[in-house]
Structure 1
Amino acid sequence: MDQENSASSLDGADEEFWDLANSSSDEDLMNLQIEALQEKGRRTRRGSIPGRIYKDRQRLQGHETLFKDYFAENPVHEEGVFRRRFQMHRALFPRILAAVEAHDSYFVQKRDSVGSLGLSSLQKVTTVIRMLAYGIGADVVDDYLRISESTAIEAMKRFVQAVISVFRAEYLRKPTSDDISRLLLIGESRGFPGMLGSIDCSHNDINVLEHSSLFANLREGRAPPVTYKINDHEYTMGYYLADGIYPSWATFIKTIPCLQGEKAKNFAKAQEGCRKDVE
């Protein structure tokens, strides 16, 4: 390989390279060329991580599509679709979004070093909610929300931390006596006296249950003390409705898997309907 051709393929090569090239074999020269080209490529890539190729994901287009689909005054998708895809009512989402954004500036939309708008808080929080609701990977929503896998993972970590910090005192705690009284009234009105609620940790149910401090007493067969009667039998321990995947604890009333007779069918229908309603 002559030096003239080498010079044309290595635009901007310095004198040190040519000093090495003149005293090297053809194989050594080829290796030097490869190293020089690789270094040039690393200098021209503009990704956030060294060596990563920059992708124009058209973030603003992703935000506008998301907003029109679900959050505009007259969105494309109605409340029922929102409820199914976000696993919450539409009115609840802005409250969570505002709380998380106020707690962690990471979720506030910013401009990058060249002045371009980054991902909106709507895109980041929706990404996290979709991952939680469907149990999907971090790169699945990229084509719709225009968010990279690494950013989705970072958003998930910060979202969880923010939710715990903001909502722990109000929601991530054991029920008070007032809470228990209110829950019992709701349960009795739905035909389940003594019911304190419904258990459904969605994906990885058992893992969540086993590691939750909120259910430590349930694992030991203990629940808030209550008094109620069913078929003239008096009971002194509340319970939660659960599906078949949960363990057979005294504090769980599960559905009947193999239905035999009208009595069992009626109970299963009522239990499953009430469980979904509570959830």
Structure 2
Amino acid sequence: MANLAIYVTVRSYVQRDREECHDRMMKNYFIERPRFPTHDFRRQFRMRRELFESILNAVVNHDHYFARRLDAAGQQGLSPHQKLIYVFRKLANRCSADSTDEYCRLAESIAIENLKRFCKAIEGIYGATYLHKPNRKDLKRLLRKVDKRGFPGMIGSLNCMHWEWKNYPTGWAGQFKGYHNKPIIVLKAVVSYDTWIWHAFFDAYGSNNDINVLWSSPLFDNVVNGWAPEFRYKVNCNRYELGYYLTDGIFLKSFSHPDSAKNKLFS
């Protein structure tokens, strides 16, 4: 019988001094007179400290995973501030899972689990408020705001973003080709004036362009089925009864210098 070699990987324990790390974070940003001013906090985490603390309280109340508790060795575990600072640093700077270990004291496996739990908590807390199409009350608010800015009847800004797909399956590479022969995935989104992304749709690029992605999305289902709410407004002395989206020239090419009555009307 051939010799059977068994390899056992022993994981070394790393003393991360999490209590000391928590105290340093509080002195840096969260005490009455922190070491770093408010504009440094906003630059690091892309938000105000008040918003950070509001999200922190909501997440801790929703999922006790984020509350501070004793670990198996009887030591104080990670604080809510450590867990959320890691999340916002990763989301704001697109860094790797273990890149903030020196500051936040999260091992890579814990950091990944922490991010997943945070995303589920945010969806559970804010999903009913933000992950829905505009109702009549929302539409009235949007239309009232854009009308003051000179765009009567506009219900959102529509655009597509092309994302390079880094870890794509090799067998799918041919049908996901983008402009530069790299696999691309398209994200189409509708955003309101207050950055409320109330519609998002992913599609592969490949044979699709922005118009095909728009066509395959459910954005205009209500219009096609006759369920879309009607608005009455005037633009250039013409009456309209359906809202519209503000887009760039990718979706609809216009004439930069219209030289006829027909082209001027189209533009």
Q: TM-score, normalised by structure 1?
A: 0.59
Task: Select the residue among 6, 14, 33 that pairs with 1:55.
Answer: 14
Residue 179 of structure 1 deviates from its aligned partner by: 0.9
State the alpha-carbon separation in 1 of the partners of residues 243 and 76 from structure 2.
Answer: 52
State the alpha-carbon separation in 2 of the partners of residues 78 and 234 from structure 1.
Answer: 52
Q: Which amino acid aligns with 1:146?
A: R
Task: Select the residue among 44, 63, 67 that pairs with 1:104.
Answer: 63
2:82 is aligned with 1:123:
yes
1:191 is aligned to 150
Q: Which amino acid aligns with 1:155?
A: N
State the alpha-carbon separation in 1 of the partners of residues 29 and 95 from structure 2.
Answer: 20
State the alpha-carbon separation in 2 of the partners of residues 200 and 84 from structure 1.
Answer: 26
Structure 2 gaps of 5+ residues are: 164-184, 189-199, 204-215, 258-267
Residue 108 of structure 1 deviates from its aligned partner by: 0.8
Select the structure with the greater relative contact order (CA < 8 A; seq sep ≥ 6).
2
Residue 201 of structure 1 deviates from its aligned partner by: 9.8
2:191 is aligned with 1:206:
no
Tell me if the contact between 1:62 and 1:145 (Cα under 8 Å) persists in the aligned partners: yes
Counterparts in 2 of 1:68 and 1:228: CA distance versus 1, 3 Å = farther
Residue 133 of structure 1 deviates from its aligned partner by: 2.2
2:154 is aligned with 1:153:
no
Task: Select the residue among 226, 230, 233 that pairs with 1:228.
Answer: 233
State the alpha-carbon separation in 1 of the partners of residues 70 and 31 from structure 2.
Answer: 23
1:238 is aligned to 243
RMSD of the TM alignment (CA)?
A: 3.8
Stretches (4+) displaced over 6 A: 199-203
Counterparts in 2 of 1:237 and 1:148: CA distance versus 1, 3 Å = farther
Counterparts in 2 of 1:117 and 1:202: CA distance versus 1, 3 Å = farther
Task: Select the residue among 74, 77, 84 that pairs with 2:33.
Answer: 74
Tell me if the contact between 2:155 and 2:244 (Cα under 8 Å) persists in the aligned partners: yes
State the alpha-carbon separation in 2 of the partners of residues 61 and 200 from structure 1.
Answer: 46
Q: Which amino acid aligns with 1:206?
A: V
Counterparts in 2 of 1:140 and 1:191: CA distance versus 1, 3 Å = farther
What SS does the corresponding residue of 1:226 show, helix, strand or coil?
Answer: coil
Q: Which amino acid aligns with 1:210?
A: F
Residue 189 of structure 1 deviates from its aligned partner by: 2.6
Structure 1 gaps of 5+ residues are: 1-27, 43-50, 262-279
Tell me if the contact between 1:227 and 1:234 (Cα under 8 Å) persists in the aligned partners: yes
Q: 104-113 vs 182-191, which deviates more?
A: 182-191
Residue 203 of structure 1 deviates from its aligned partner by: 9.9
Residue 167 of structure 1 deviates from its aligned partner by: 1.6
1:141 is aligned to 100
Task: Select the residue among 132, 147, 151 that pairs with 1:173.
Answer: 132
Q: Which amino acid aligns with 1:180?
A: L
**Aligned 1:23-42 pairs, distance under 5 A:** none
Deviation digits for residues 136-193 of structure 1 (CA, Å, limit 9, x no counterpart): 2212222221211111110111111111112222221111111111112222233333
Deviation digits for residues 237-262 of structure 1 (CA, Å, limit 9, x no counterpart): 43455679xx62x7xxx9x9xxx89x
The alignment-based identity, stated in percent, is 41
Q: TM-score, normalised by structure 2?
A: 0.62
Q: 189-198 vs 129-138, which deviates more?
A: 189-198
Greater strand proportion? 2
Residue correspondences, number: 206
